[in-house]
A and B are shown apart, each in its own frame.
Chain A
Amino acid sequence: MTATSKGFADRLRTPEVTHARISGVGGYRPRRVVPNAELVERINSSDEWIRERSGIIERRWAGEGESVVDMSELAARQALQMAGVEAAELDVVIVATVSWPYQTPAAAPMVAERLGTKGAAFDISAACAGYCHGIALASDMVRGGDASNVLVVGVERLSDFTDKDDRGTAFIFADGAGAAVVSRSATPGIGPTVWGSDGAQWDVIAQKDSWIEVHEKDLGWPTIGMAGQTVFRWAVWGMAPVAQKALDAAGITADQLDAFIPHQANVRIIDAMAKQLHMPADIPIARDIAYTGNTSSASIPLAMERMVRHGEVPSGGLALQIGFGAGLSYAAQVVVIP
C-alpha cells in the first residue's frame, strides 16, 4: 500500500534567511584571585615551573554567590547591555558548561529566568569547544529565522572538579563566565563553522569515573584528568589546520584578521598554534590565560571581552576563534568583533 500526500507541502512557511552577528560580549571573573604560590606546595612545584609550562600567573576560583548560574547571569547582563538588547527579547538561551552540578535540569532555564526571558533554554556539553558550538547554533538559529536574539554563555566552575594534588591539571583549570548575544544583522557577521570530533581520543581529557562508578564503588568526588602531551600534540598540529579551514571557509586570509582568539588552554599551545598558522606578528593574539587560567568554555568570550574592553581590537574587525577540548571536540569560526 502506498500512502498519498494531501498536497499541502508547498504551503509550508519558513522564515526568510538573514545574517547573524555577535552584538555584544560580556564576562564575569570570580572575586578570589589564586596566585601560583597558593598551589605549588601540593603539586611540589614553583611559580616559575607553572609559568614556563602554561603562561599562567594567577587564576580566579569561584566562591559563595558565584555559582554557574550566578556567573552566567552577570556575564550575560554585560553582553546584553553592550548589545542594546533587553532580556525579554532573547528567544533562546544556550549555556555551554561541563561543571553545572546537576544532571538535570539544565542551568540555562534558571539563567533565562534570572535575566527575565521565557525563551527556549538548554545546555550544551562540548567542554572547551562549547562556546564555539554555541555560536554556531545561535548563528544558524538566527540566520534560519527561528530566533532574533540568542544568548550564548560559556561558564565553568572547574575548581569544583579539579584534583588539587594533580600536577597535570591543578594549576591549569579555573572558573569564570563569558557571554555573547547573537542577533539578526543586515550584513554577514559570523562565518561558517568548521567543527568535528575524534571520539577515539574520548579518554584523554575526562572525568575520571562515571557518576555510577563513583556511587557503586564509593570512589569519592570525581575530578577531571588530562593526558597533557597527547592533548598538546592534538591541539597544536591537529587544530592549526582546523583554524586554517575556518579562515578558508570564510574567505579570509590570516593577514586580514584583527584578532586571533584561540581557547585559552595553555600559552604554549597558543604560541605553537600561532606559529603553525604563520600568524602575522602584528595580529593581536588573546593571552587572557595569564590572569584567568583555563576556564574551558568561558575562555574565548572572556578573552574577547578583555580585548574589546582594553581597546586592543577594533569593533567591526575580524576575529578567528577556535575552541578545542574534551571529546575530543572542536569548532572554529571567523566572527566580526562587536
Chain B
Amino acid sequence: MADQQEILSGLAEIVNEETGLDPAEVQMDKSFTDDLDIDSLSMMTIVVNAEEKFGVRIPDDEVKNLATVGDAVGYIQSNQG
C-alpha cells in the first residue's frame, strides 16, 4: 500500500506525462482545473493511469469530486486495493 507521499509523487509523474507540467507544481492544495489548467479529457487520462498505477477503481461519477490534488490522493489512499 502506497502512503500519502508516494501517491502524491506517483500522481505528479502521471500529471507530468499527460501535460508536461513540472511534477513539483503538483501539490496537495492545487486545483486540477484552476491551478494546473487540466481539462476534463486530460483529467480522465490521469484518472485511468492512476487506476492502473495504484490498483484502484475511480468511477466516472467520482471524478467530478476530485477538485484538488489532495482530493485525488485522499481517494486513492482510502480505496487502493
B40 touches A233 (CB 8 A): no
Cβ of B26 under 8 Å from chain A: no
Looking at chain A, what size class is its interface with the partner chain?
A: 10 to 19
Residue numbers in A under 8 Å from B48 (CB-CB): 233, 236-237
Contact yes or no, A233 B39, CB < 8 A: no
Residue in A closest to B59 when the chains form the complex, CB atoms: A230
Q: Is residue B44 within 8 Å, beta carbon to beta carbon, of the partner chain?
A: yes
**Size class of the B contact interface (CB-based, 8 Å):** 10 to 19
**B3 contacts the other chain (CB 8 A):** no
Do most interface residues of chain B lie in helix, strand or loop, or is the interface mixed?
A: helix
Main secondary structure of the interface of A (DSSP, over half): helix
What's the nearest-Cβ distance from chain A to residue B5, in Å? 28
* Nearest CB on B from A273, distance (A): 12
- CB–CB A53/B39 < 8 A: yes
Task: Name B41's contact: one of A227, A232, A237 (CB within 8 Å).
Answer: A232
A228 touches B40 (CB 8 A): yes
> A228 and B60 in contact (CB under 8 A), knowing A233-B48, A237-B48?
no
Is B60 within 8 A of A230, CB to CB? yes
Q: B44 to chain A: which residues have CB within 8 Å?
A: 229, 232-233
- Which of these, B39, B45, B60, B63, contacts A272 with CB under 8 Å? B45
Give 1 or 0 for each of A226-246: 1 = CB within 8 Å of chain B CB. Answer: 011110110011000000000
Interchain CA distance A268-B42 in the complex, whole Å: 9
Q: Does A52 contact B (CB under 8 A)?
A: yes
Say yes or no: is B43 at the interface (Cβ < 8 Å to chain A).
yes
> What's the nearest-Cβ distance from chain B to residue A168, in Å?
9
**A-facing mask of B16-41, CB < 8 A → 1, else 0?**
00000000000000000000000111
**Cα–Cα, bound, A237→B52 (Å):** 12
Asked if A52 meets B45 with Cβ closer than 8 Å, knowing A227-B60, A229-B60, A229-B63, the reply is: no
Could you list which residues of chain A lie within 8 angstroms of chain B, going by C-beta atoms?
Answer: 52-53, 227-230, 232-233, 236-237, 266, 268, 272
Q: What are some 26 contacts across the A-B interface (CB < 8 A)?
A: A52-B39, A53-B39, A53-B40, A53-B41, A227-B60, A228-B40, A228-B41, A229-B40, A229-B41, A229-B43, A229-B44, A229-B60, A229-B63, A230-B60, A232-B40, A232-B41, A232-B44, A233-B44, A233-B48, A233-B60, A236-B45, A236-B48, A237-B48, A266-B41, A268-B41, A272-B45
Leading 6 A-B pairs by shortest Cβ distance: A230-B60, A229-B44, A268-B41, A232-B44, A232-B41, A233-B44
